[in-house]
A and B are shown apart, each in its own frame.
Chain A
Amino acid sequence: MAGSRPRLFQGNEACVEGAIAAGMRFFAGYPITPSTEIAELCSVRLPQVGGTFIQMEDEIASMAAICGASLAGVKAMTATSGPGFSLKQENIGFAAEAEIPCVIVNVQRVGPSTGMPTSPAQGDLMQARWGRHGDQDIVALSPAYVEEVYFLTVEAFNISEELRTPVILLMDEVVGHLREKVTLPGPGDIVIKDRKKPAPGSRYLPYAPMEGEDGDIPPLGAFGDGFRFHVTGLTHGPDGFPTNDPGVGEPQIKRINSKISSRREKLCKAEELFTEDADVLVVSFGSSARSAKKAVKDLRAMGVRAGLLRLITVWPFPDHLIQRIAAQDLKAVVVPEMNLGQLAREVRRCLDGRATVIGVNRVAGRLIEPADIIRAVQGVT
């Protein structure tokens, strides 16, 4: 089916349109550069489609409010940047533990602390994965193009609904503020997934795994639908009530981790370019990967056998993709990223000594240019 005519969209705008297309009808947020346009646009667009926008008193409250709305059966999202992302962590952990579908957008800016509010960075890669206490696997997607922002926002909602888990959309200032041509899909062109619901009138055990495919993800009822169930951040049993019994608690904690890690291959999306015969691999994500792509193309034109692996899903980490490419004898792996080596650390872990990893790093808002990457590759070839 034909979509609309191509139109210029800002990344943050594409995020809002993607979210609405995915069924988001509740947004709670607190303004922070460079994510603010997402809140502003939601305040315009949501009531137009019968949805609700609220500007909460802080990011902690925003994260709490989207959990509440989701438990009441409405797809919900919040958006922020570094300082606000830090504040949201406790309640993101709550959403993971209580298995509440929701989407958290982080348009990354330079940190630590207030850092450089209007400058891009990718320094929250590890915070997205490890920012909370306790063990919990997490899903995080990282777009590099405005059009991709739209589709990945839809995907973030779909994954959150299917896996009953919070999903992080890890953007950066470049992608958030960039304007690019986007062709919106027509109605019916995108797949929208909704959470499994318990059968009406059944005795509902909100945390009980079931038989069959995806049985490790229990259905989720909505408050007010008659199930009268309990939700807590305390370690709980299949009925949702707290337990101190390690025999009950351990399977629950393991399940919220394994429901993500066991689906690694299905969840991990990536773009590959010239990887089949590459002897130098460039691994990147988000806006840095745009420069990486240009660099790899230029290097090929120079006769260098460079290849690109652009991570679209950053968490769970695509160990299998890196290990597959590493099997073909690489001279080196070059990792451009706007932080001091967070992605490189993971890549090194996957390679386990099979190839040297060279970082190309910037941390104070200056973008990584293709020339920086070309220089790094030339240093090893």
Chain B
Amino acid sequence: MGSDLTKYLRVEKLPHIWCAGCGHGIVTRAIVKAIDELGLDPVKVTVISGIGCSSRAPGYMNFDTLHTTHGRAIAFATGVKLARPELKVIVITGDGDAAAIGGNHLIHAARRNIDLTVICYNNTIYGMTSGQYSPVTPLGSFASTAPYGMVERPFDLCELVMGAGGTFVARSTTYHARHLTNVIKQAIQHKGFSFVDAFSQCPTYFGRRNNLREALAMLNWYKENAVSREDWAKIPPTERGSKFPIGVFKDEEAPEYCESYRKVIEKAMKEGDAK
């Protein structure tokens, strides 16, 4: 039996703004479940988001919460974390928020290896502004601004963050809710920059244009196309089709930025005293 998760929610702020069948509620539940299972002190958890359907999640979560400007959550979070390194800082973002307008902040936070946990509610579309393509919209799929099919090549966000130097990188989906909770738990516990690419269905705008009108159809699509990273490695690249890997892709130790800067402070204070 699980414990009561409503204590992590601002129940008086419900109902939420999300459409029926939206995946964002499932990811949000996975985050609070992870926090609960880790037994974190809720007073020492700060949740920060940008702008988008996904970024509305912190408003329903009972922690210190900061809903910032489009794409900038990671930069705000960098200020919070450096000012108070003892806080667990979790960033909630969307695929547009994190990878288009906020892409620069994403790669630089990963490069610094600052101890933030970034969870991208990835629906491969701009939900809030009603269905324009994002930097991860798959080739050939349809969006309100890709009426003839997407011709831009998408990012693989996990590859992007690994390439930029992030030290914990994982992917899961709303179909794999237990797995999702587990990778979020590992991400939160990881010391350094951690990133979870959480596939989350948007039946309203992605599904409707791409023959996946029902949320259930989208969840089934995740079920049928997600493969473990071990199995993924065994499939010849030409046969991968719409399949994608889930799991933990990277879990490495490297100097964490706040700790490195703490040493700068110690050094500067000592040298200052010596003068």
Report A's interface with B, CB cutoff 8 A: 25-26, 28, 44, 47-52, 54, 56-58, 60-62, 64-74, 76, 90-91, 94, 222-234, 241-242
Contacts and interface: CB of A to CB of B under 8 A. Distances in A.
Contacts of A223: 46, 64, 66, 80, 84, 87
Given A68-B66, A230-B67, A241-B13, A54 B84 contact: no
Closest 9 CB pairs of A and B: A68-B79, A47-B268, A65-B79, A64-B75, A72-B83, A61-B75, A69-B83, A69-B79, A232-B67
Contacts of B267: 47
Interface residues of B, number: 41
A44 B64 CA distance: 32
A243 to B, nearest CB: 12
A274 B51 CA distance: 54
Contacts of B63: 228
Nearest to A72: B83
Contacts of B75: 56-57, 60-62, 64-65, 68
A227 B64 contact: yes
Given A57-B105, A233-B68, A50 B76 contact: no
B68 A61 contact: no
Contacts, number: 143
Contacts of A76: 79, 83
Contacts of B261: 47, 52, 54
A222 B59 CA distance: 17
A44 B275 CA distance: 14
A69 B84 CA distance: 8
A91 B72 contact: yes
B82 interface: yes
Task: Describe A's contact surface by its main secondary structure.
Answer: mixed
A22 B240 CA distance: 60
Contact of B265 (A47, A64, A225, A233): A47
Contacts of B48: 68
Contacts of A62: 75
Interface in B1-30: 10, 13
Interface in B64-113: 64-69, 72, 75-84, 86-87, 104-105, 108
A66 B86 CA distance: 18
B204 interface: no
14 contacts: A44-B268, A57-B75, A60-B72, A61-B75, A61-B78, A67-B79, A68-B48, A68-B78, A72-B79, A72-B84, A73-B83, A74-B84, A94-B68, A224-B84
Given A48-B271, A74-B84, A94-B69, 7 more contacts: A44-B268, A50-B265, A56-B108, A64-B72, A65-B79, A65-B82, A232-B66
Given A58-B104, A65-B79, A69-B82, A233 B67 contact: yes
Interface string B214-237: 000000000000000000000000
B144 interface: no
Given A58-B104, A73-B84, A230 B58 contact: yes
A66 B83 CA distance: 9
Interface of B: 10, 13, 42-44, 46, 48, 58-59, 62-69, 72, 75-84, 86-87, 104-105, 108, 261, 264-265, 267-269, 271-272
Nearest to A226: B43
Contacts of B81: 68
Contacts of B44: 224
Nearest to B112: A54
A234 B82 CA distance: 25
B69 A91 contact: yes
Contacts of B79: 26, 28, 64-72, 76
A224 B86 contact: yes
Given A47-B268, A50-B265, A90-B69, A229 B80 contact: no
Nearest to B58: A230
A233 B67 CA distance: 7
Contact of A61 (B64, B72, B269): B72
B102 to A, nearest CB: 9
A48 B108 contact: no
A297 B272 CA distance: 45
Contact of B43 (A65, A228, A234): A228
A56 B78 contact: yes
A52 B68 contact: no
B56 to A, nearest CB: 9
B115 to A, nearest CB: 14
Contacts of A49: 269, 272
Given A57-B108, A94-B68, A234-B67, A65 B76 contact: yes
Contacts of B265: 47, 50-52
